[in-house]
A and B are shown apart, each in its own frame.
Chain A
Amino acid sequence: MNPIAAVLEPWTWRMAWRDSRRSRPRLLLFSLSITLGIAALVALGSMGRTLRSTIDEQSKALLGADLVLSSRQAAGPDETNLLQRLGGERASEISFASMVSFPGRDATRLANVRALTGGFPFYGRIETEPPSASEEFRRGEGVLVEESMAQQFELKPGDPVKLGTWTTRLAGTLRRVPGDSVAFASLAPRVYIAGSKLPDTGLLRRGAIVRYRTMLKLPDVPPVGDIVRDNKEEFRRLRLDFDTAEKRREDLGKALEDLNAFLNLVAFVALLLGAVGIASAIQVHVQQRLGHVAVLRCLGASMASTFSIYLVQALALGAVGSLAGVILGSAVQFALPVVFRGLLPFPIHVEFSFVVAARAAAAGIGISLVFALLPLLAVRRVSPLVAIRAAYESAAAGIDWARVAVFASIAATVFGFALLQTRRWQQGAGFAAGLGIAFLLLAAAARALVWAARRFTPARLPFAWRQGLASLHRPQNRTGTLIVSLGLGTFLLLTLQFTRSTLLNRLFPPGNDRQPNAILFDVQPDQLDGVVALLKGLGYPVLDEAPIVTMRIRTLKDRPVKDLATNRAARIPGWVLQREYRSTWRTNLVDSEKLVAGRLVPRVEAGAARIPVTLEQGIARDLGVGVGDRLSFDVQGLALECEVSGIREVDWRQVRPNFFVVFPAGALEAAPAMHVVATRVADAKSSSRLQRELVKSFPNVSALDLTLVLETVGNLVSKVGFAIRFMALFTVMTGVVVLVGAIVTGRWQRSRESILLRTLGASRAQVRAILFVEYASLGFLAALTGLVLAAGGGWALAHFVFKSGFQIPWLDAVVALLAVPALTVAVGLSTSRGIANAPPLEILRQEA
């Protein structure tokens, strides 16, 4: 009979059920070790589906139009022709930065003003409070103001608002506009006005930095993708940037898929850990049953049918754990939208998906089965002789191909799942290989421990120590099982923790709390002392101060900019050539930058023929210049001949006055300069107070208030962090369940011994000391190996996947080194407490 036929026999199932009789609570506990992993998979799977369908549904509303063209200059005849040709319905928006003031509140703030003409958005709508406000502002009856800004100044509909020379009223607050992401809207709070009212403001003077956007609603045929493809050259020639709903959908979809894939891998890690738990439980269970197997074989049961009894049990374990996981996951999935709220540009509504649940359950049963096969194979090798004589450990001859096959299928399962999630061969293979290496190293560490315990236990040690260390190598020891399961758990958890901090550090560098959050622009040289005094008076520090001289590029490598701008072969983006450069002079580098090429010349003699300047890396690349190249700037009609002496790498994530071009001291002092001053205020309230004071004494100074931005970024950090931690929690809890399971199941191996020792006169304290030594050394070695592995894994991930530096978070490492052994000892001792209290006779009979 083959095992498959045997599994189908009713007798196998009946025996499996009977055989489990005295172990059911314990078996149930093991089955729970995969529950959390399955729950996480179910919850994430449903959310992934929901996300995909929501993105598809809302993809047009993501942009509000089929095609959006934007430009730095007003439309010329060519562009008008192009738009005529494209057809469809059209709307336009003119946006620029300006101060907006609220006379009733005595407040002023820098805002992003947008003058809207036409029926945008064509898909979705502008969400306002009250809802009628979105129509009122279009009729020119008032303006819409960013909700966060309205809250900051406690504005109510009807309050007066002043924009340049136009005084109007607040129609309502702005919640959401298709195409804008919520998270970064507060970088510059938006103010929407009707396009027809733009002349009333008198704000659109020559020289202001303005962005022109044309939003188009196009017929379904031809597809927008084709239109974009056919007109790409024309867009480039006219310096038009374009955006399509399709591209938005892909970008957003990709970002979310990446996050979803990462979280799914986290869930899979929990599931794997659970599978390791099941495997170690089955290992102990099977060892305990080897005697029964032998008796059944004496009575005439075939190898296949005894094997199937335990196979069926493993199957049932996986099924029960998976079912519990599906139920738990279905409940948890309704919590996920709350966890992810604010990360998504639209609300999501999660629904139970049978497909997702079935797939997760299949994964759970499948993976617990392949992992359980490893210890189950021992059943095949049981000789019926064991029934009449104690087992002799006889080394199996040759290669056990079934074992090789099981290892191969474990590797294939892990690889397959990782591939399914990441959809990248290297990452799938890396994931599987990493786990394989971890497994091997842990097994090797366990062997080394067994060997060392046998060789090096000094005879001088106290009795309890010698006994405890001897338990590590005596026959039927649990060193291998516990080291592998505990170590793998520690490894996976720590890697997750390390990766989390790498990921978060990369997105959001630490130290935001010492960075400036308010920046004052356009401070005249004669106002500088006054502004600094004002700040000091209010108790705010001056964190940064820099002079700014505005200039434009005249020549690049001795060729005039005008030639380059019309020369497509030069491949230099137009805005890079034509923009206004706000440059400074410094004698040294600041914190947020470092020199990557050439050198920085601190100062030059007045009247130097060529001024050595340093460029920011990105702009140098755009301009196509390197160290030693020449360029010249136009400062208020005066030509400055310069040469690139160095290239700087700037960390733009730091809120600092950073510059594309930095001059040495001694070159620009004579030019008309403005100053920028950076400070840090306590909160949004104090920021508005500062702005009020500033407007009173220095009306020309504009203030960029970053308190809200930084708060938003901070929120984002904690949201992403929370989402990751929420999922990691599943892994941590799985780790604990596995630990408890591994120790509880192994208890019987130690309990007889403990009882025997007690019968021989050992005190309970001695028995406990012996157990302590064993558990503590197991826990410590497992944690240490797991830590080393996690450090390697974390480094590899940082290096190859995130392409960033890696530092071991020592605090986490130390916590793990202490917590894992402590937990092992605590669980170990508490599970053997029952043994210490029960009458030895009772237990001797039971465990016989």
Chain B
Amino acid sequence: MQALLALENLTKTYRSGATDLTVLAGVSLSVGAGETCAIVGPSGSGKTTLLGLSAGLDVPTSGTVRLAGHDLGSLDEDARARVRNQHVGFVFQNFQLLPTLTALENVLVPVELRGESGRRGDAVDLLGRVGLADRLDHYPVQLSGGEQQRVALARAFVNRPQLLFADEPTGNLDGDTAGHIVDMLFELNRTAGTALVLVTHDLDLAARCGQIARLRNGRRVE
């Protein structure tokens, strides 16, 4: 069976002025449906860059990215956006809720982007599952960091993605709250079969994943 996410020999070089800075050099990685994978490494080692390339947020200098059967290199930006909307969910370190939208509206954005309607019930349900049933109409500023991240989690799952990308999802949260979020992530992995790709500093969290990719200076060392 084909892997859900297959990265082959990814290289990313940034040109700044006259010098080239190679941020990723020949990284390969494969994540199957329902699997979990942690990307770890020191700060500046290229984790975020790798995640961005995997999700089609940027294009590699060389190498290929296959995501849910699509070769991202052959798609234009809008087509990649469609792939993201259909197959991928995101959780960010700094939550990235839209501040002008309520919790419920934030969760509904991916649904609306698909042009679907009548999914309000699902969204309310999801927010209930992350423990925010009574905060539907609150704006992000009215929520704590942990609550915001739970809304982000609900938003990431509302389209029932096959794959969820999370860049240091607990980096801005305290231990207890972080643990709660992580539990939810794995719970969704189990119940919905969503594959997880997590960037993290937290070794305990990494240890719970089926696969660990270690990066150093843009190279995969393990």
Contact = CB atoms under 8 A, between A and B. Distances in A.
Interface of A: 1, 11, 14-15, 18-23, 291-292, 295-305, 383-385, 387-389, 845-846
A300 B85 contact: yes
The secondary-structure label for the interface of chain B is: helix
Nearest to A1: B78
B8 interface: no
A15 to B, nearest CB: 8
B100 A22 contact: yes
B96 interface: yes
16 contacts: A19-B101, A21-B100, A21-B101, A295-B98, A298-B57, A298-B96, A300-B86, A300-B88, A300-B113, A301-B85, A302-B81, A302-B82, A303-B77, A384-B81, A387-B90, A388-B167
Given A18-B101, A299-B110, A388-B92, 12 more contacts: A21-B101, A295-B98, A298-B55, A298-B57, A299-B84, A299-B113, A301-B81, A303-B81, A384-B81, A387-B92, A388-B93, A389-B48
B35 interface: no
B192 interface: no
Q: Closest 7 interchain pairs by CB? A: A300-B85, A21-B100, A384-B57, A302-B78, A300-B84, A385-B57, A295-B96
Contacts of A383: 57-58
The secondary-structure label for the interface of chain A is: helix
A296 B108 CA distance: 12
A845 B105 contact: no
Given A11-B112, A388-B52, A300 B81 contact: yes
B109 A296 contact: yes
Q: Which of A296, A300, A383 has the most CB of B within 10 A?
A: A300
B100 A20 contact: yes
Contact of A298 (B82, B84, B112): B84
B99 A22 contact: yes
Query: How big is chain B's contact interface, by range?
Result: 20 to 34
Q: Which of B48, B86, B96, B114 has the most CB of A within 10 A?
A: B96
A845 B109 CA distance: 23
B115 interface: yes
Q: Which of B92, B93, B155 has the most CB of A within 10 A?
A: B92
B188 interface: no
B52 A300 contact: no
B113 A845 contact: no
B58 A300 contact: no
A393 to B, nearest CB: 11
A303 B84 CA distance: 13
B207 interface: no
A163 B88 CA distance: 104
Contacts of B88: 300
Given A299-B113, A300-B110, A302-B78, A19 B52 contact: no
A845 B141 contact: yes
Contacts of B84: 298-300
Contacts of A18: 98, 100-101, 105
A14 B109 CA distance: 11
A11 B115 contact: yes
Nearest to B78: A302
Contacts of A20: 100
Nearest to B102: A18
Contacts of A387: 57, 90, 92, 96
B160 to A, nearest CB: 14
A737 B172 CA distance: 41
B82 A300 contact: yes
B51 interface: yes
A280 to B, nearest CB: 21
Nearest to B76: A303
Nearest to B88: A300
Contacts of A389: 48, 52
A297 B78 CA distance: 9
A388 B51 contact: yes
B101 A385 contact: no
A303 B92 CA distance: 21
A292 to B, nearest CB: 5
Contacts of A302: 78, 81-82
Contacts of B167: 388
A299 B100 contact: no
Given A18-B105, A298-B90, A385 B78 contact: no
A19 B51 CA distance: 28
A301 B109 CA distance: 9
Contacts of B112: 11, 14-15
A388 B57 contact: yes
A304 B105 CA distance: 21
Contacts of B109: 15, 296, 299
Contacts of A295: 96, 98
Contact of A299 (B51, B78, B90, B115): B90
A301 B92 contact: no
Contacts of B58: 383, 385
B49 to A, nearest CB: 8
B53 to A, nearest CB: 10
Contacts of B92: 387-388
B78 to A, nearest CB: 4
Contacts of B77: 303
A514 to B, nearest CB: 66
Given A19-B100, A304-B78, A383-B58, A299 B52 contact: no
B63 to A, nearest CB: 17
A383 B105 CA distance: 23
Q: Which of B55, B57, B84, B85 has the most CB of A within 10 A?
A: B57
Nearest to B56: A384
Contacts of A300: 81-86, 88, 110, 113-114
Nearest to A23: B100
B7 to A, nearest CB: 17
Nearest to B155: A299
Contact of B98 (A292, A385, A388): A292
Q: Which of A20, A299, A304, A389 has the most CB of B within 10 A?
A: A299
B113 A301 contact: yes
Interface string B124-164: 00000000000000000100000000000001000000000
Interface string B67-93: 000000000011001111110101011
A846 B141 contact: yes
Nearest to A305: B113
A644 to B, nearest CB: 78
A19 B139 CA distance: 12
A349 B115 CA distance: 54
A1 B141 CA distance: 33
A183 to B, nearest CB: 59
Contacts of B83: 300
Contacts of B93: 388
A305 B82 CA distance: 12
A15 B109 CA distance: 9
Nearest to A304: B78
B169 to A, nearest CB: 12
A841 to B, nearest CB: 12
A567 B115 CA distance: 91
A760 B101 CA distance: 32
Contacts of A14: 112
A300 B156 CA distance: 11
A11 B52 CA distance: 27
A299 B78 CA distance: 12
A717 B53 CA distance: 72
Contacts of B81: 297, 300-303, 384
Contacts of A21: 100-101
Contact of A291 (B48, B90, B96): B96
B48 A388 contact: yes
Q: Which of B52, B58, B82, B99 has the most CB of A within 10 A?
A: B99
Nearest to A20: B100
A466 to B, nearest CB: 27
A19 B110 CA distance: 15
A357 B157 CA distance: 50
Contacts of A301: 81, 85, 113
Contacts of B86: 300
